[in-house]
Structure 1
């Protein structure tokens, strides 16, 4: 007799066959392929030329914590190929595979390191943020990084409650070209429209700023009604995708910083916007506090980490219909995509806090059809 998983696969029919065949489909209860890389794993980057996955490993936050590093893993097996130790905690990554450069964000030290991927060595470190007068922290923490290859620019948001900025670094000379002020309250999400020469930046004020990447000016700003925590963005062919995290613990902080705004009714959702005016074209309720986004154009899918549920969900790009999900076992954090093979890599963090740093992982999850996921109550 066919299993419930097999029947669910057959029930999907031809409409979803092409996207799902591109994924790593496994029988029920098959664990994800994963490798423990160390404490504090954050962002990932995939290298087509090296067939490898890079992981930023912060190490830990105490004086006696393990050192920070960038780890390179084999894309097919996730076996460790190399490890480059770094003097500062690594969080964000942006890869220029053609030029063999990996940009590493050191959020707490306000710096960017540049790594030569061919020789696996650190070339240079650029200081972007200045120390505060008390000497304890820097004026701006750094969040993610995004590379504008056409204009040889690296964009790096500098986070603050009231005076956030956008650092613009010349990715060839490593010279700071400009610091764009007044970006808003804690800019976290970044998405690049290469054809339209626009950068979208989302903030924890429920806003999205639109930046002209040629003139380096803010073209406009939208306040998204009913969207409170647009933590991450993705862009594809005239559509802007948004992960609205809906994390209850953030709402009191937002109320304190912007008391005139109505922060009630925060929700967990994924949205599709018109990038010309911010109009919501589609919205899909999500679970597990959605966090990271990745577009698989060939499969027509948007991948979303539903962090606290420990899974990666796949939605259709055209209407955000859920079609599949892969379990990670623990907290699903950041994503990287091998578009040629439709492999989805995810950094997996441990829940809770521990006095001793514990190892966290990079995983290549198995995907099940959404009907099977719903039936299993995952």
Structure 2
């Protein structure tokens, strides 16, 4: 995502943004918090329903939380500048994208023990995803503006895909297509995961500098989030079909296929916008959930329908500098319907 260090934290007006819950939306709210502690910024977090775990990137390591006990059950160390985590339960493996030294860490899916280090040819790997159709890992490099493709079974680098801009989050359809937000161009690029080639791209304006991306695989819709707006795209028609007003400073989005809900985590506002999908081009906000300022990244457990986000407490801002994070205040927020 765009920043590994915490965002400039503003006083949250979440209570003022809260809206009444409509009859067709669950009553999402923060039910409890899990103190993770430690120092350093954060980026993506990934909920894995199969293992009941949440993987939380945190500066130089990945904290692993058991969602049944709300306890830390593991740690993947030595991942400098870690941005993302990709998981392949079918292969018993996982990967982290380490932006600071431009490497990928391969780890055992069950034990979390590191297995290998991949020194990939790109610069500053950020988003990372596993494509089950080809059993390949795609790591997206923010500084070199490309994607590196890795054979998930052998850890060998298969190729490099120029993207013509700064890639952000990516999603797959499980059938051989992948889509990635291109932040500095305000567009989406489509990649054939078998040929490893860009097959299309289109503008998603008025969505500028897109970060988070989610997919409705059944109805073929992509959800990109930008400051104050969510753009809904038809990847087959290669165009935006709807836009929705969301909160400020979003950095992640998620889609709950069973409930037909789209979520955007807004770090500046300290809220999560809940959007109802009621047709291929019909989307409306049904709830705004207060969270906490700085809670900009998010993940969804699609089985339990629980959302997770992270943030911290900060010292008062000093002119010209980012506010310092208070020691050991890094916290996972659990948001349940």
Report if the CA contact (8 A) 2:146-2:165 is conserved: no
Whether 1:180 and 2:156 are equivalent positions in the alignment is no
- Encode CA deviations 1:197-219: one digit per residue, 9 max, x unaligned: 22112212112211111111111
Q: 2:62 aligns with which of 65, 70, 74?
A: 70
| Alignment correspondent of 1:242 | 224
Residue 41 of structure 1 aligns to a residue whose secondary structure is coil
Q: Distance in 2 between matches of 1:225 and 1:54?
A: 32
Q: Greater relative contact order: 1 or 2 (C-alpha under 8 angstroms, separation 6 or more)?
A: 2
When you count helix as a share of all residues, which structure comes out higher? 1
CA apart distance, 1:44: 1.4
Describe the superposition over 1:274-329 as per-residue Cα deviations: whole angstroms up to 9, x where unpaired.
Answer: 11233221111122222201111011111111111112221113433112233222
Q: Which residue of 2 aligns with 1:259?
A: none
Cα distance change of structure 1 residues 104 and 55 upon mapping to structure 2, 3 Å threshold: same
Match of 1:336 among 287, 291, 299: 299
Deviations along 1:225-266, one digit per CA (max 9) or x if unpaired, are 433212222121311111123xxxxxxxxxxxxxxxxxxxxx
Secondary structure of the residue aligned to 2:268 is helix
Q: Relative to total residues, which structure has the larger strand share, 1 or 2?
A: 2
User: What is residue 78 of structure 2 aligned with on the other side?
Assistant: 86
Aligned with residue 262 of structure 2, among 302, 309, 323? 302
C-alpha deviation, 1:341, in angstroms? 1.0
Runs of 4+ in 1 over 3 A off after TM superposition: 349-353, 355-359
Q: What secondary structure sits across from 1:98 in the alignment? A: coil
Shift of 1:127: 0.6
2:324 equivalent among 323, 339, 354: 354
Q: Which of residues 261, 266, 272 is equivalent to 1:312?
A: 272
CA RMSD of aligned residues (A): 2.3
Ranges in structure 1 where 5+ consecutive residues have no aligned partner: 1-6, 59-67, 130-138, 246-267, 368-378
Q: 1:78 to 1:325 in 2, by over 3 A?
A: farther
Write the distance in 2 (CA, Å) between the matches of 1:285 and 1:329.
Answer: 19
2:124 maps to which residue? 141
Residues 362-377 of structure 1 mapped to structure 2, 5 A cutoff: 362-365=332-335
Select which of 170, 178, 191 maps to 1:211: 191
SS at match of 2:63: strand
What residue ranges of structure 2 are gaps of 5+ in the alignment? 1-18, 315-321
Paired with 2:313 and 2:126, the residues of 1 have a C-alpha distance of: 20
Cross-structure match for 1:282? 242
Distance change in 2, residues 1:216/1:87 (3 Å): closer
User: Which TM-score applies when normalising by structure 2?
Assistant: 0.83
Residues 1:323 and 1:32: Cα distance change in structure 2 (over 3 Å)? farther
Structure 1's 350 and 288: CA in aligned 2 closer, same or farther, altered over 3 A?
farther
Matched residue count: 305
